[in-house]
Amino acid sequence: LAINGRLYAGWKEVSITRSIETISGLFRLGISERWSGQDEPWPILEQDACRVLIDGETVIDGFVDTRNARFGAESDDLTVSGRDMAGDLVDSSVDIGRWVFRNATVLDIARTVAAQHDITVELQEGLTLPPPIPKLVISPGDTGSSTILKAAKMSGVLAVSDGAGG
């Protein structure tokens, strides 16, 4: 776990979820405030930038959503959970200065919507770009993820997070 670019070694357990059924990857860590070689407590705050790595490979690149602490006579339990950057698409309404896409590809739509959060969008290598969508209407309050998923459904493709910020 890297928090704001600093390696955090005090974790006890980890759960990582990346699925084709969700547009954002999730993580949950059981952590310790102190660990061997580290004398000062190191607070982890909500909205801290984080990266979860396995064997040096990034599997989640995003932000801390929640930090929970439970203190007891026998033990202290701290948990940190968060999502990759695509989580911003789940939480935020579309604000791109337009409400209708005409004759745009799913890739154009997804890139336009995701750019609002500096999220990159790529078509998986080897896939053929589906034909343009004649008309896609965004309703006020629609989230970025619902808009991208609507365009993906209309194009017959699946939109998934790569876990690494895209």
The rounded radius of gyration (Å) of the Cα atoms in the chain is 19
* pLDDT score, position 34: 58
Q: Give Cα 28 distance to the centre of its chain.
A: 13
* pLDDT score, position 4: 84
129: Cβ contacts below 8 Å, ≥ 6 apart: 105, 106, 107, 123
* pLDDT score, position 12: 80
104: Cβ contacts below 8 Å, ≥ 6 apart: 112, 132, 133, 136
**d(C-alpha 51, C-alpha 3), whole Å:** 7
Cβ 54 vs Cβ 129: under 8 Å? no
* pTM, entire model: 0.82
* pLDDT score, position 156: 94
What is the chain's pLDDT, residue by residue, as a tens digit (166 residues)? 888 888 877 678 889 998 888 888 999 988 776 556 666 666 788 999 999 988 888 889 999 999 887 776 666 678 889 999 999 999 999 999 999 999 999 999 999 999 999 999 999 899 899 999 999 999 999 999 999 999 999 999 999 888 777 8
* pLDDT score, position 30: 85
Tell me the CA distances in angstroms from 158 to 17, 33, 108, one per residue in order: 17, 39, 15
